[in-house]
Amino acid sequence: MSPDAEAVRFSVTETPVTRPEPARSDAGAEDRARDYVEAFADPVLDGGIVHRVWIYLLLALAAAVVLLRRRAPVVLRCVGALGLAALTYQIGLFFLAMGVQYRLENPSVVIGLLCAAVLLRLAASEVQRRRSLARTS
């Protein structure tokens, strides 16, 4: 080994590495930043029952079961398929997304509300049909 290579090996392996501490201009800045973040981390601000996605998924599941099981017109079967699509979308998020936020749940919520509106309309028309049959009998 040449003397220059020996000097490089010695200087690289024997020289201690020191890293200076970062200078803090304001010691209370971290505390103020933490207080600011915690001010918006109130459990009351996390939302209530309206922001629970599983409720909308139950509505989509009910629509899928009701509208895909019975002999319904094509439009109603499409709504049932949308309910099933919301469930499969949610399963995909469960297995593939690293972190799920409410903005990613928006399609499930919208489809759940759509399915609920269609089911309510079907129930109302069924009640109206039964009342008219009861009056004519």
* CA–CA distance, 77 with 75 (Å, rounded to integer): 5
pLDDT at 137 over 70: yes
User: Position 25: which residue type?
Assistant: S
More confident residue, 91 or 49: 91
Nearest-CA neighbor of 57 among 105, 104, 92, 101? Answer: 105
* CA–CA distance, 56 with 67 (Å, rounded to integer): 16
The per-residue pLDDT for 77 is 92
Lowest-pLDDT range of 80-84, 92-96, 124-128: 92-96
